[in-house]
Amino acid sequence: MQLVFATHNTNKLQEVEKLLPASISLLSLTAIGCNEDIAETGTTLEANARLKADHVANTYGMSCFADDTGLLVNSLNGAPGVYSARYAGTQKSAEDNMELLLRNLKDVSDRSAAFQTVIALRLKEELHTFKGVVKGEITLEKKGTKGFGYDPIFRPEGYTKTFAELPLSVKNEIGHRGKAIKALLEFLKTVG
């Protein structure tokens, strides 16, 4: 089976490739000649994932899945949420986003948070969605060099290290994107 993963993010692409069986051939947006940035104008993670999957399916006529991920911080009423990638501005700088979040939590004792990923799959004319969540907390400072985005300041529940300190295999096993991909794969087994 050939599927397009609607992303230009090479880190995300590598993370997902490690989770897929050999029977699924994964193509990136670049591989299919889609070089534009698909606008994420939705007000929810699901809406943004659907926009990207629909764009590829309608424009390129290919089966596709897309994801949108948000970091939801309890003491900030779920912010940055759907705006996680552009929390500190449209430049989408992970460093700027982490710095702003750490500043906004400077004197806050409740640092609990959750990462949530929603995947939208367009297979033929059908749309299916899958969700993955991991709870944890925002650390006081950045730690680790692995991963991307907010990984250096997010420590998952039950662990003493941030996502950026943990091996990718562990992050994929316990993480939000890994859980959503596993749900996607379980569904794909039912459709052959």
Show me where the domains of the chain are located.
2-191
C-alpha 161/C-alpha 139 separation (Å) is 10
Can you list the alpha helix ranges (DSSP code H) found in 10-141?
A: 10-17, 45-60, 94-104
Q: Are 82 and 42 in contact (CB under 8 A)?
A: yes
> Is the pLDDT at 91 greater than 90, yes or no?
no
pLDDT at 62: 94
Which residues, at least 6 apart from 59, have a Cβ–Cβ distance to it below 8 Å? 34
> Is the pLDDT at 115 greater than 90, yes or no?
yes
- Write down the pTM of the prediction: 0.91
- E-strand spans in 42-179? 64-73, 80-81, 112-123, 126-138, 154-156
pLDDT at 192: 62
> Is the pLDDT at 7 greater than 80, yes or no?
yes
> Is the pLDDT at 13 greater than 90, yes or no?
no
Catalytic residue list contains 37? no
CATH number for the region 2-191 comes to 3.90.950.10
Task: Give the tokens for residue 61.
Answer: 């006529």
Catalytic residue among 37, 54, 68, 110: 68
pLDDT at 147: 84
